[in-house]
């Protein structure tokens, strides 16, 4: 068989072209991977782009295919390593996991959250979902008086008769609706948006559990407000680190929510709401650690010795179920609405539901809360 010089040259040129295309795709993937891997106080544009890290797996796969066609071992190796990094971050092995608890030793509570987008969410859809899913706890951000009235008109008060609400028209309003009795513990301090904490007394099948719930609404990381975004997440991290109420540290020392559990029994805690952060932000991962570790600062003393909090969606392996944006700007979906629990709280049935009228999805899961002695 005879191979013409022209045919060989064309094949070589094609190989080089594939190789160059692979490098062109790898450069931005590698750059963003460095930002993801290094926990630092990155500038606002980097923080915003990091939100979309889960979607880097798509160009990483594409780059590996191009690298294989380009037949250069170095380029192929780099592409394979970057793809492996994306998969590790997509299904992280270092995420918090709930501690196994004996069956029937706790109480069950289905919790749901919705950012109502200035009260424009469809109240009828929300109440229908509460009814159909057996929701016993509903938290709302950007709560307005008009939205509260519409929820009441749809019969939410019959399903969830206990309420702690503070409606406003500027996006700072909040509400907590509960099937079980609740008592206010105060606000997370120094946050522009309201972040109240309440204590629920959950009774189920003769067992009683105490759950402390914080309705989360962190400022978004935009323009000069990124410092406040970091401050909001750090404040939540200090709250997460308060697993022994006898210590007057963190938020309790600052006039924030206090706890009443025994130092021998960790607080059953749920942080639920719009964190305006994804698992790919080191600030959010530091929150799960109960302090400032990994976000360019030292870990807060309140979190020393505490166990990692559990991001329910990440622990369920469902990071690609986006919660924003459901409407409006056509962007790749990301998960910024979370249920974060103490490790002793197990969870099942994590789900995301689109609600008309808001750019956030409703997120819900059923929690198994250890019963009090």
Q: How many angstroms separate the most distant Cα atoms in the chain?
A: 87
- Alpha helical stretches, state H, 106-222: 123-133, 145-153, 156-159
pLDDT band at 23 (very low <50, low <70, confident <90, very high): very high
Q: Please state, in angstroms and rounded to a whole number, the distance separating the CA atoms of residues 108 and 211.
A: 11
| Residue 85 confidence (pLDDT) above 90 | yes
DSSP character at residue 241: T
CB 337 within 8 A of CB 360: yes
DSSP character at residue 9: H
| Most confident segment among 63-77, 119-133, 236-250 | 119-133
Q: Which residues pair with 369 in a beta bridge?
A: 107
Q: Show the tokens assigned to 54.
A: 């889960």
CB 197 within 8 A of CB 214: yes
pLDDT band at 301 (very low <50, low <70, confident <90, very high): very low
Q: Which of 185, 340, 176 is nearest to 259 (CA)?
A: 185
Distance, CA of 148 to chain centre: 25
Q: What is the dihedral of CA 213, 287, 235, 246, to 10 degrees?
A: 70
| Residue 10 confidence (pLDDT) above 70 | no
pLDDT band at 346 (very low <50, low <70, confident <90, very high): very high
Q: Please state, in angstroms and rounded to a whole number, the distance separating the CA atoms of residues 295 and 23.
A: 30
CB 164 within 8 A of CB 175: yes
Q: Write down the pLDDT at residue 302.
A: 37
| Residue 11 confidence (pLDDT) above 90 | no
| Residue 323 confidence (pLDDT) above 80 | yes
Q: What is the mean pLDDT of residues 349-354?
A: 98
46 Cβ neighbours under 8 A, 6+ residues apart = 35
Q: Please state, in angstroms and rounded to a whole number, the distance separating the CA atoms of residues 65 and 67.
A: 5
Q: Exposed, middle or buried: residue 237 (CB in 10 Å: 0-12, 13-18, 19+)?
A: buried
Q: Write down the pLDDT at residue 266.
A: 80
Q: Please state, in angstroms and rounded to a whole number, the distance separating the CA atoms of residues 329 and 359.
A: 9
Q: Please state, in angstroms and rounded to a whole number, the distance separating the CA atoms of residues 78 and 26.
A: 8
pLDDT band at 251 (very low <50, low <70, confident <90, very high): very low
Output the average pLDDT for the chain. 88
The structure's pTM equals 0.88
The H-or-E segment that residue 201 falls in is strand 196-204
- Alpha helical stretches, state H, the chain: 5-37, 44-50, 57-70, 73-90, 123-133, 145-153, 156-159, 226-240, 250-253, 282-288, 312-315
Q: What is the mean pLDDT of residues 129-151?
A: 98
CB 174 within 8 A of CB 226: no
Q: Write down the pLDDT at residue 252.
A: 45
Cα→Cα distances 118→142, 174, 242, 334, 359, Å: 5, 10, 31, 20, 10
């Amino acid at each position: 068989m005879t191979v013409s010089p022209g045919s060989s040259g064309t094949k070589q040129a094609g190989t080089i072209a594939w190789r160059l295309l692979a490098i062109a795709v790898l450069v931005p993937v590698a750059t963003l991977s460095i930002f993801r891997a290094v926990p630092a106080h990155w500038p606002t544009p980097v923080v915003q782009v990091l939100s979309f890290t889960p979607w880097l797996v798509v160009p990483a796969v594409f780059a590996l295919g191009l690298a294989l066609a380009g037949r250069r071992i170095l380029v192929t190796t780099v592409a394979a390593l970057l793809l492996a990094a994306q998969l590790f971050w997509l299904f992280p092995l270092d995420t918090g996991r709930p501690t196994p608890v004996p069956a029937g030793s706790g109480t069950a509570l289905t919790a749901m959250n919705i950012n109502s987008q200035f009260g424009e969410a469809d109240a009828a859809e929300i109440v229908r979902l509460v009814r159909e899913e057996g929701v016993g706890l509903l938290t709302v951000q950007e709560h307005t008086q008009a939205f509260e009235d519409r929820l009441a008109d749809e019969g939410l008060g019959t399903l969830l008769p206990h309420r702690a609400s503070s409606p406003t028209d500027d996006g700072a309003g909040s509400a907590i609706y509960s099937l079980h009795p609740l008592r206010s513990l105060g606000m997370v301090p120094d946050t522009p948006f309201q972040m109240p904490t309440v204590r629920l007394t959950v009774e189920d099948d003769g067992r009683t559990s105490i759950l402390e719930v914080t309705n989360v609404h962190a400022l978004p990381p935009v323009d000069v407000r990124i410092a406040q975004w970091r401050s909001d997440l750090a404040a939540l991290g200090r709250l997460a680190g308060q697993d022994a109420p006898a210590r007057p540290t963190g938020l309790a020392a600052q006039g924030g929510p206090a706890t009443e559990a025994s130092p021998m029994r960790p607080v059953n805690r749920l942080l639920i709401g719009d964190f305006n952060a994804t698992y790919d932000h080191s600030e959010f991962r530091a929150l799960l650690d109960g302090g400032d570790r990994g976000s360019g600062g030292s870990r807060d003393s309140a979190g020393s010795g505490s166990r990692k909090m559990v991001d329910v969606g990440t622990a369920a392996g469902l990071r690609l179920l986006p919660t924003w944006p459901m409407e409006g700007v056509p962007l790749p979906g990301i998960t910024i609405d979370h249920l974060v629990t103490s490790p002793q709280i197990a969870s099942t049935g994590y789900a995301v539901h689109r609600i008309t009228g808001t750019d956030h999805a409703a997120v819900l899961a059923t929690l198994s809360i250890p019963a009090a002695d």
